[in-house]
Amino acid sequence: GNFPYFVDMGNCGGALITPDTVLTAAHCGDFTGRTLIIGGMTRGKVEGKAEVRFCEKYAKHPVYKNPDHPDVWNPNSEDYDYALCFLSYPVFIDQTRVRLEINTDNNNPAPNEDLTVMGMGNIESGVGNPDDRLKDVIVPALDNEKCNGRHYYMNAITDQMICAGFDDGRYDSCKGDSGGPVVKRVQQTNGKFIDYHIGVASIGAACGTK
């Protein structure tokens, strides 16, 4: 019940942002007609309170990798790397412990604030297969200017993106975590949590690279 909104999409992750809508990364590809597991904890398995649905309709951001928008399109960037899957029918998840909300504050997160990223991807860069179990890690938000100053991003970080990670590497998202939600968890006075959906896992320099 820690991340009831997480969606197992096989090779990627996603988040249930309304009862019939999943937000993921556009670079994960078209999921039309494919099976999704809402609330999945082990890749491909329906266990606990997990439920199966089909992606009935898929829509990626109209600007993503679209040269018809030369004013904003950057071929060296994963700008606008967002997509939606509209489900075959709704899922009403248990929100008694945690509720997901879309972030609407452009000042959120501030640099160095803790963010949580989750997924079923690899646990080491370039090594082995995905771990298959849902995992999460806390990483600090980074200033975009600082992130762009690192040689491996080559100014590919735009105003539509956020950066997160440790200066010395340590923990990170990895291959197979794409599309998974990046959230800022805020505890409420009643002990419950609101997870503000800040963004989706999109690009990175290997996994845990300094």
For the annotated catalytic residues, the residue numbers are: 27, 81, 178
Query: Distance between CA 112 and CA 33 in Å, rounded?
Result: 40
Sign for the CA dihedral angle at 173, 204, 140, 16 comes to negative
Distances in Å between the Cα of 64 and the Cα atoms of 3, 84, 112, 153, 184 are 28, 13, 28, 18, 25
Query: Distance between CA 172 and CA 202 in Å, rounded?
Result: 12
Contacts of 140 (CB under 8 A, 6+ apart): 111, 112, 113, 114, 115, 164, 165, 166
61 exposure class (CB count in 10 Å sphere: 0-12, 13-18, 19+): middle
* Six-digit token string for 141: 């938000």
Phi/psi region, residue 152 (left: phi>0; alpha: psi -120 to 50; beta: rest), is alpha
Q: Say how many C-beta atoms besides its own lie within 10 A of residue 208's C-beta.
A: 20
